[in-house]
């Protein structure tokens, strides 16, 4: 089968999850939050879109992502709009539940 949007990088163990593509491959999420007092504007990053735009091998550490983000609420209010923090989340329920994987395998055998 031909690849889809872009090739995902290989993930070796012990895992060092540094790139956008590795985050996608492992089901990780990144959320960006404005750190200005009283703002707390927060968004979930669309990693597939970012990989398409920046490349799957682009870094996903805060220093790699910061140049691309600003807070629109703070910009509109005339405050410092570049105080952005990033939170990385590992793949968790319901995506990582084993019972879903089992039921998917059973469906594949049946169908
Ligand atoms: Zn803000």
Of the candidate ranges 1-10, 11-20, 71-80, the one whose mean pLDDT is the lowest = 1-10
Which has more confidence, 11 or 84?
84
What are the pLDDT digits (tens) for 73-101? 999 999 999 999 999 998 876 666 666 55
70: domain range? 20-110
Does the residue 13 lie in any domain?
no
Does the residue 95 lie in any domain?
yes
Residue 10 has a pLDDT of 74
Overall average pLDDT of the 98-109 stretch: 56
Long-range contact set of residues 46-51: C-beta below 8 Å, sequence gap at least 24:
47/20, 47/23, 48/5, 48/24, 50/20, 51/5, 51/6, 51/20, 51/21, 51/24
**Total structural domains within the chain:** 1
Does the residue 7 lie in any domain?
no
CA of 82 to the centre of ligand 1 (A): 8
Residue 7 has a pLDDT of 75
Does the residue 12 lie in any domain?
no
Does the residue 9 lie in any domain?
no
CA of 78 to the centre of ligand 1 (A): 10
CA of 60 to the centre of ligand 1 (A): 21
Does the residue 85 lie in any domain?
yes
Does the residue 97 lie in any domain?
yes
Overall average pLDDT of the 4-21 stretch: 77
């Amino acid at each position: 089968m031909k690849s889809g949007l872009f090739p995902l990088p290989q993930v070796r163990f012990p895992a060092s999850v540094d790139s956008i593509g590795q985050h996608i491959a492992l089901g990780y999420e990144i959320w960006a939050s404005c750190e200005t007092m009283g703002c707390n504007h927060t968004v979930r990053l669309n990693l597939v879109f970012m990989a398409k735009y920046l490349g799957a091998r682009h870094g996903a550490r805060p220093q790699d992502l910061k140049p691309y983000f600003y807070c629109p609420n703070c910009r509109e209010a005339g405050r410092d709009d570049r105080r952005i923090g990033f939170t990385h989340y590992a793949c968790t329920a319901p995506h990582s539940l084993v019972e879903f994987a089992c039921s998917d395998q059973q469906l594949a055998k049946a169908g």
